[in-house]
Amino acid sequence: MNALPLPPSGCFATGADGPLHLYAVRAYFEDTDLSGVVYHANYLRWFERARSDMLRLLNVDQRAAQEAGEGAYAVAEMTIRYAAPARLDDDVLIETRIEELGAASIRLVQVAFRRTGVEENAVHKGPMLAQARVRVGFVAPDGRPRRQPAAWRTAYAQFLAGADQATQFSSPNQPGTP
């Protein structure tokens, strides 16, 4: 029998520009519009999934913070360039890098690539589909900016310190984790 299906889950790696988070999505009917390609706004949903997965792997519990009334991240600013269209059933890889870590906000760079194949320890990247620079701010329930929880900033700093430490952040739900 096949492996049991696992929820989509990313991992950490080291890229040319330093530590990266990698996340995979597939394009479904829900993502497309009548022009036959993925609707532009849906890349923002994909990028949000990748950011949330990165936080989860860093043991940043957004739901607990939300339920405890501490606050939540809100996108403050985003610039996105669309380079090539994604089509139904395309396998897409999303790379997320932390560009700048502030007291109350984080700047990230996120890039979506079409995948052309998978091999042991290697991803075959196809064309770049879209590239975004995003600033997210932590906001209190009253909507005012608030410093991110200290434990979260520590986790981000550890991640930024290098992917060789990143494996310690691996998720129990991660496919193929020993």
Q: Which residues are catalytic?
A: 33
Query: Quick check: 173 binds a copy of itself (CB under 8 A)?
Result: yes
- Using DSSP, state whether 42 is helix, strand or coil: helix
Is 158 an interacting residue with respect to a copy of itself (CB under 8 A)?
A: no
The rounded Cα 152 to chain-centroid distance in angstroms is 16
Residue corresponding to tokens 């996340």: 23
* Contacting a copy of itself within 58-77 (CB under 8 A): 61-63, 66, 72, 74-77
The dihedrals phi and psi of 10, each to the nearest 5 degrees, come to: -95, -165
Q: What is the helix (H) or strand (E) element at residue 130, kind and residue range?
A: strand 122-139
Check binding of 163 to a copy of itself (CB under 8 A): yes
Residue 61 phi/psi, 5-degree rounding, is: -95, 90
Which 34-53 residues touch a copy of itself, going by CB under 8 A? Answer: 34-37, 39-42, 44-45, 48-49, 52-53
CB of 120 to a copy of itself, least distance (A): 9
Stretch that binds a copy of itself, among 83-91, 96-104, 105-113, 153-161 (CB under 8 A): 83-91
Query: What 8-state DSSP symbol labels residue 37?
Result: B
CB of 104 to a copy of itself, least distance (A): 15
Give the nearer residue to a copy of itself in terms of CB position, either 10 or 106: 10
Q: How many residues bind a copy of itself, per CB under 8 A? A: 77
* Stretch 89-148 residues interacting with a copy of itself (CB under 8 A): 89, 91-93, 115, 118, 121-123, 141, 143
Question: In whole angstroms, what is the distance from residue 5 CA to residue 99 CA?
Answer: 33
With beta carbons less than 8 A apart as the criterion, state whether 111 and 128 touch: yes
